[in-house]
Amino acid sequence: MKKLLFALLVVGSPLWAADFQAGMAKIKITPPTPFWMSGYGGRTNQSIGVLQDLWARALALRDAKGHRIVIVTTDLIGLHPGVSDPVFARARKQFKLDRADLLLCCSHTHSGPVVGMNLNVMFDFSADEKRRVLDYSAQLTDNIVKAIGDALNDLSPAHLATGNGSVGFAINRRQRTDSGNIVLGVNPTGPVDHDVPVLKVTSPDGKLRAILFGYACHCTTISTKGKDPSDFYRIHGDYAGQAEEELEKRHPGAVAMFTILCGADQNPNPRGSLELAVEHGQALAAEVNRVLDTGLRAVRGPIRTACQIIQLDFAPHTRQTFEDEIKNSQDPKRPNKFLARRARMMLDAYDKGKPIRQTPYPVQAIRFGNDLSIIALGGEVVVDYQLRAKREFPGENLMAVGFANDVMCYIPTARVLGEGGYEAEFSMVYYGQPGPFAETVEEKVFRAIRSVMAKAGAR
């Protein structure tokens, strides 16, 4: 009788047996075929098939004091406010999750669907195509909210541990030409961070339940250069999706969750084919598995969170800036439809008396006791931010997540702005931003990072 009573007490008080409660969920988010794909401006047709399904995965965590957070990863190019804003609103209403307690991540695969009106300058949708994109985005919103709810309903005792590995296929892509210009290429001496942070979630009996891992590198391995050029028009998670698939095959029942770190100026090397995406994914999965099998550090509570939405300033511009851009885009020797579309958007904003001078920017911190801190930054964040954050918080076990919550454009540092090139300048055209940013961008972001880290209790 005493043994039975003891067992009932343990079952009825799960937090006595573990540091946390954890719950997982996984929902397919593969778009219908055909569907417009995002990430590359050179695509001229919609998708023709699926090489690999895409997923939204959720990890819910609750500490001993009842503080709950949910981390969602998606095999997508990035989330747009048309998706992320209603997800945050519905999560608050349905699950009582504060804005700081929900983190939305992506892999940034360039072989996935258009999400909302993100990167819409790349496309000239018909009314029917736009409706299909918005319908998919609405269903995606529902799926993410469902994943959050399912993960919260799955909470049970869990232990957390963390470790770090390294893989070397990321390389800086900001190559300086003989004339001094910065182009997209290969820069072996440019800044990189090959760190692979890993968060391991197990049940009290040691069974692996979830793996959260990241890497600072674009998911741009697949192109038209592979054995089958049509792979460029097929849905796939690139190296990140491959790594998730490999890990879930090796650990049945566990959920493998990839999030891209601050890899906006990093490309896989070599790149250009599905075969290389598989190779890089397998290498990343193998390293994560090695870390899982090594002596990891325990992660304890409490969980503390903070989030701040700041305004980042664009460099000054006038109506004449975009009237000139219209003219330049019509040069018969070098016509540029993307430049023309961006210019028309900016002139329309001027016509309405609301020229775009700033963009909202989310900065978030999630801290687990003194054992792990996650900094989450919106936009396509260059690796300088990751490296500087580690320097500024040398006593922290830090995971710097980029492309988080809202991917509104590239986020350069002062160095990248000064050098120019795609990340600082022309990428802003595709995102429909007036760009480039003002020189204050880096310091504004780091003031916000220090603020949320302080509010979340960082030392």
Q: How confident is the model at residue 396 (pLDDT cuts 50, 70, 90)?
A: very high
pLDDT of residue 10: 38
pLDDT (0 to 100) of residue 30? 98
> What pLDDT score was predicted for residue 448?
98
Average pLDDT over residues 294-316: 97
Which pLDDT does position 373 carry in this prediction?
98
Q: How confident is the model at residue 206 (pLDDT cuts 50, 70, 90)?
A: very high
Q: What is the pLDDT of residues 39-78, one digit of tens each?
A: 999 999 999 999 999 999 999 999 999 999 999 999 999 9
Residue 119's closest CA among 434, 380, 431?
Answer: 431
pLDDT tens, residue by residue, 68-112:
999 999 999 999 999 999 999 999 999 999 999 999 999 999 999
Distance (Å, whole) CA 86 – CA 291: 36
pLDDT over 70 at 458, yes or no: no
User: For 406-425, what is the mean pLDDT?
Assistant: 97
Q: What is the pLDDT of residue 198?
A: 98
pLDDT of res. 228:
86
CA distance 102 to 79: 14
Pick from 16-25, 321-330, 375-384: least confident: 16-25
pLDDT-derived band at 13 (thresholds 50, 70, 90) equals: very low
For the residues 135-163, what does the mean pLDDT come to? 98
Query: What confidence category does residue 7 fall into, taking pLDDT thresholds of 50, 70 and 90?
Result: very low
HEC sequence for the chain: CHHHHHHHHHHHCHHHCCCEEEEEEEEECCCCCCCCEECCCCCCCCCCEECCCCEEEEEEEECCCCCEEEEEEECCCCCCHHHHHHHHHHHHHHHCCCHHHEEEEECCECCEECCCCCCHHHCCCCHHHHHHHHHHHHHHHHHHHHHHHHHHHCCEEEEEEEEEEECCCEEEEEEECCCCCEEEEEECCCCCCCEEEEEEEECCCCCEEEEEEEECCCECCCCCCCCCHHHHHEECCHHHHHHHHHHHHHCCCCEEEEEEECCCCEEECCCCCHHHHHHHHHHHHHHHHHHHCCCCEEECCCEEEEEEEEEEEECCCCHHHHHHHHHHHCCCCCCCHHHHHHHHHHHHHHHCCCCCCEEEEEEEEEEECCCEEEEEECCEECHHHHHHHHHHCCCCCEEEECCCCCCCCEECCHHHHHHCCCCCCCHHHHCCCCCCECCCHHHHHHHHHHHHHHHCCCC
Whether 17 has a pLDDT exceeding 80, the answer reads no
Query: Given pLDDT bands bounded at 50, 70 and 90, which one contains residue 31?
Result: very high
Model confidence over 321-350: pLDDT tens digits? 999 999 999 988 888 999 999 999 999 999
- At 356 the pLDDT is 97
Q: Are 218 and 169 in contact (CB under 8 A)?
A: no
Judge whether residue 153 has pLDDT over 70.
yes
Per-residue pLDDT, averaged over 152-156, amounts to: 98
The answer on pLDDT for 14 being more than 60 is no
- pLDDT confidence of residue 11: 39
Q: How far is CA 260 from CA 235, 294, 403, 413, in A?
A: 18, 23, 7, 18
Domain assignments of the chain as residue spans, ordered by start:
13-302+363-412, 318-354
In this predicted structure, what is the pLDDT of residue 331?
Answer: 87
User: Do 68 and 153 meet the contact criterion of CB atoms below 8 Å apart?
Assistant: no
Model pLDDT, residue 349: 97
Q: Global pTM?
A: 0.95
